[in-house]
Structure 1
Amino acid sequence: MEALRAHPFGESGPATHPVLQPERIPTLDILRGVALLGILLMNIQVFGLTEASLDQLIRNPHGGNYWLLTLVYGLFENKMRALFSILFGAGIILFLTKTRSGSGMEAPELFIRRQLWLIVFGLVNAWGLLWHYDILFHYGIVGIFLFPFIRLSPRALLVCAIVVGLIYSGKLYWQFAEQKQKYEKFLPIAALEKKNKKVKLTDEQKEAKSAWEGLVKEHQYDSKADKADVLAMRSDYATVWTHQLPKIKQMEAPFFYQLGIWDVLSMMLLGMALFKWGFLSNRLTTRQYIFLALGGLLIGQAMAWLSLPVHELEIVDFAKYVSGSSLPVADVLMPFERAFSAIGWASLVLLAYRAGVALWLWKALGAVGQMAFTNYLMQTVLCTLFFYGYGLGYFGDLKLYQLYIVVAEVWLLQIVFSLIWLKTFRFGPLEWLWRSLTYGKRQPMRLTEKTPQITPVFS
């Protein structure tokens, strides 16, 4: 680990080469596989159902589907995506401090090329495959910002992660404060109209009234809009594209620059710190992993269940949520809830791996994680073709519990595909394409192909 604290870049020298099989860190692949498969537990809900219909389960809290939604939300919402971001942060250090070979480019140049191509893949995932919750575009941009942080110590990286997490909490609180301000401006207008129904409002009062009522309407169930949403998603590609376009624009522009960047940045910084400490590469003691598993999950889950009533109240009665709360607990705690939970889940996985049980499971998860890029985009392709109208058109047709049957099938398919593929090839197909584009030349694909001679980064 001392090498990671050294100056990472020389003034000259050969450039970085792709990670070869003997150089891979098994636990990184395993954790990446867990995170990748875990992300689908949350994404499947939006792939297969309207968000309005999911909210309706909370407004009518009874039956197995409500409890399933609550359980998945409490255990996995934001946690698996946080772990995925943590691992991407670790990958930044791994890429910039790995061994080198002579391809004519320095590690920094290759890293920027790598991130720019990731942005392109993210745009394809969102605008071509029509997945508006794509994270590749965000990862590509944030990764470039993190380039200078490679030089920081683990403690400094952790401090940066906490600061960014606090900024994220602050942004979420500010959003709530703006909503509360709209409510407080509306109250005297409502009282005035109640007192005199024929009162003539000023333009400023009309604007304030409209702002609050529009906000309330956004949080109410509209059956006609919900049915129209389902109908559009069951239509041809052009119709689905037009319908998804506003959501894609929202996620990749306003949401990202206002909130998403702080979300991704905090977890990637945490991942860089954890990697430098040896947490992700299985270098801590068993006692330390037990402490982190228990502490992370207890604190993270306590925050999650404490936040749950507030989260549900926002959906059930938005006016009561804004008027009766001085602090949006669910939002303010979320950046730290997911960090503690992600560390807890990762520690639990590493403890099970260290125990040496179910070796077949670790091999399977490692294969999925080694091909995480391919498998992430494969999830988009499989789910959009299954649910959207230009495929099988099952959008809005299945109950929540039935969506998890689809999840199990996708998991099985990805595990089997990954294991079979890696018996012949070094990389997943999209990993190979990404690397070839990054290095500007075709990379060795088959296990039997010769690899370039390598020399250490640090001498």
Structure 2
Amino acid sequence: MTGGNIGSRTAPASVAPPKPMSPSERLDAIDVLRGLALFGVLAMNIVIAFRVSIFAPSLLNAEPAGSLDRAVAAVLTVAVGSKAVALFSLLFGVGLAIQFERLAGNAQRMILLVRRLVVLLAIGLVHLYLIWDGDILVEYALAGFVVLPFLGGARWLMAGAALLLLGLYVTMLLLPPIVPLPGAAGALAADATRAYGTGGFFDVLAFRIREVPAIFPLHVMAFPCTVALFLIGAFVWRSGVLRRASANRRLLFVVATVGILLGGGLSLAAAGQELFDWPSLGRAHFPVEQLGAVVLALGYAAAVIVAVNLSGWRRMLGWAAPLGRMALTNYLAQSVICGWIFYGYGLGQFGRLGVAATLAIGIFVYLAQVVFSAWWLRRYRFGPVEWLWRSCMYGVPQPMRATVNLAIMRARR
């Protein structure tokens, strides 16, 4: 692997090398995808990890869900599930590749990118311990360090490493699970109900410090897949498909069709035993479920990119772009808002609401973020946390007002 510029191979004289996507085009494609993925992330997080503890399924005396809750849970399981997180991971890989490319002429490129990930790691640790135990930013930052050396290498190396890591992930899923035994998980679920449902902030913090080590094995399991998705995202950006989406519309349409049909089929097969009393897949359940999530996420991404390149759909989906431009701020805000709604130091709704009612709250929170993001970005260039992230990365405060001349910002880099 080399640390040189991306695409160092000389293009034939008759073929112009692909130009980087303009800000407006990138916003229409990548930021719309981020904005839409945020809804899926919120929908699953609020239902699975804020409404109850992630260990709640271990409680044998859990109250059975009503028919509406079961139907909503079925749709979320098959259509959203881990697909939103997989899509978010793909987009993070795209973002890393874009940053690497933009800093091609900067002698401190790797230092800046490492600093960017260190800041993300710090934000993630604060989020993990003080706000919510389901943080994904720590895992993203650590996976980013693994991916950095690949960004300057050949595309085949990215693709090969991604396939190897996915193979490792599937193999790990076939092994006995490295999660707490049912008795330990049940005890954690009962303690979580007491701490999160009725405890104050410091009670929640004390329990979270005890809970995080029990959750850590789940991140160990997911880590190879996260790195693989980052590499796939970086590979897609390097391929030029996103920069020439109109010219690659047929390819994107095929990926969307195959991804949605195949990924949806795998996801349905994995959920079939729980939803329809289909025969059990045994140890193959988790590999089928997770591969379905990856394939379906790719299908969703391709479908949205095709739609964004159609003028009518671009206008219809444009509302999601501001949400995606400040995705980090919105992700953290979702945790703060949901913590206030469900935990004992807020409204104390932990363990009291069904799936459908909880999802309705999530939809309301998401719509509020759509309105707020549009309002904020009419006045400012970045979301608040994005501003902090960029300022720490470059070592100087970044111009915040939307009217600031971009030349000033470039001169300060």
TM-score higher than 0.5 here?
yes
Name the counterpart of 1:5: 7
1:116 is matched with which residue?
Answer: 118
Alignment of structure 1 residues 119-138 onto 2, 5 Å: 119-129=121-131, 131-138=132-139
Q: CA deviation at 1:150?
A: 0.9
Amino acid at match of 2:38: L
Deviation, 1:152, is 3.0
Percent of aligned positions that are identical: 27
Q: In 1, Cα distance between the equivalents of 2:371 and 2:239?
A: 33
Question: Where does residue 243 of structure 1 map in the other structure?
Answer: 207
Q: Distance in 2 between matches of 1:404 and 1:361?
A: 23
Aligned length: 391
1:10 matched to which residue of 2? none
Larger Rg: 1
Q: Distance in 2 between matches of 1:58 and 1:173?
A: 28
Match of 1:152 in 2: 153
1:47 to 2:10 alignment: no
How far did residue 246 of structure 1 move? Answer: 2.7
Distance 1:225 1:265 in 2: 29
Q: How does 1:406-445 map to 2 (within 5 A)?
A: 406-445=361-400
Please give the alpha-carbon distance, in whole angstroms, between the structure 1 residues aligned to 2:304 and 2:398: 32
Output the TM-score relative to the length of structure 2. 0.85
| 2:339 counterpart residue number | 384
CA drift at 1:148: 1.1
2:87 maps to 1:83: yes
Task: Specify which of 283, 291, 294 is matched with residue 257 of structure 2.
Answer: 294
Matches within 5 A, 1:306-385: 306-309=269-272, 328-385=283-340
Instruction: Show the counterpart of 2:225.
Output: 263
Matched AA of 1:341: L
User: Aligned letter for 1:47?
Assistant: F
> C-alpha separation between the residues in 2 aligned to 1:57 and 1:275?
48
The answer to whether the 8 A contact 1:89-1:272 is kept is yes
CA deviation digits over 1:282-319, x for unaligned, max 9?
Answer: 62532222211110011111111112245779xx9xxx
**TM-fit CA distance, 1:228:** 4.7
Deviation of 1:270 (Å): 0.9
Instruction: Give the Cα separation in 2 of the matches to 1:361 and 1:445.
Output: 28
Query: What is the one-letter code of the residue matched to 1:86?
Result: L
- Deviation of 1:263 after TM superposition, in Å, equals 2.2
Larger deviation, residues 51-60 vs 260-269: 51-60
Query: Quick one: structure 1 residues 310 and 57, their matched pair in 2 at CA, closer, same or farther if it must change by over 3 Å?
Result: farther
Task: Name stretches of at least 5 consecutive residues in structure 2 with no aligned partner.
Answer: 10-20
Q: What does residue 40 of structure 2 align with?
A: 38
User: What displacement does 1:336 show?
Assistant: 2.2
Q: Structure 2: how far apart are the matches of 1:436 and 1:23?
A: 25
CA contact under 8 A between 1:117 and 1:437: conserved in structure 2?
yes
**Residues 148-297 of structure 1 aligned to structure 2 (within 5 Å):** 148-176=149-177, 215-217=181-183, 228-234=191-197, 235-251=199-215, 253-256=216-219, 258-281=220-243, 283=245, 284-297=247-260
Which position in structure 2 is the counterpart of 1:66? Answer: 70
- Structure 1 position 26, deviation (Å): 2.6
**For 1:87-146, what per-residue CA distance to the aligned partner results, in whole angstroms no more than 9, with x for missing partners?**
1111111111105788xx6111000000000000000111111x1111111111110111
- 275-284 vs 115-124, greater mean Cα deviation: 275-284
* One-letter amino acid of the counterpart of residue 227, structure 2: L
The 1-side partners of 2:300 and 2:25 are apart by 25
Does the 8 Å contact 1:168/1:335 carry over to 2?
A: no
1:68–1:282 CA distance, 2 compared to 1 (3 A): farther
Partner of 1:448: 403
Partners of 1:432 and 1:98 in 2: CA distance: 18
**What one-letter code is carried by the residue in structure 2 that aligns with 1:49?**
V
- For 2:165 and 2:116, locate their aligned partners in 1 and report how far apart those are by CA, in whole Å: 24
What is the CA distance between 1:363 and its match in structure 2? 2.3
**Alpha-carbon shift at residue 159 of structure 1 (Å):** 2.3
Q: 1:294 & 1:358 partners in 2: Cα distance? A: 18
Secondary structure of the residue that 2:151 maps to in structure 1? helix
Q: Which amino acid aligns with 2:232?
A: L
**1:208 — aligned with what?**
none
Deviation at 1:37, TM superposition (A): 1.9
With over 3 angstroms needed to count, the CA separation of the structure-2 counterparts of 1:282 and 1:362, relative to structure 1, is farther
C-alpha spacing 1:308/1:430, structure 2 compared with 1 (3 Å): same
Cα drift, residue 351 of structure 1: 2.4
CA–CA distance in 1 between the matches of 2:227 and 2:44? 21
Q: Is 1:384–1:391's contact at 8 Å kept on the other side of the alignment?
A: yes
Matches of 2:144 and 2:306, distance apart in 1: 29
Tell me: CA distance 1:145–1:236, structure 2 relative to 1, closer, same or farther (3 Å). Answer: same
Q: How far is the alpha carbon of 1:328 from its aligned partner?
A: 1.1
Mapped partners of 2:309, 2:405: distance in 1: 33
In the alignment, what sits opposite 1:185? none
| Counterpart AA for 1:74 | V
Q: Is the 8 A contact 1:161 1:269 kept in 2?
A: yes
Question: 2: distance between equivalents of 1:66 and 1:83?
Answer: 25
The C-alpha deviation readout for 1:308-342, integer Å capped at 9, x for no partner, is 245779xx9xxx97xxx7x5112222342122101
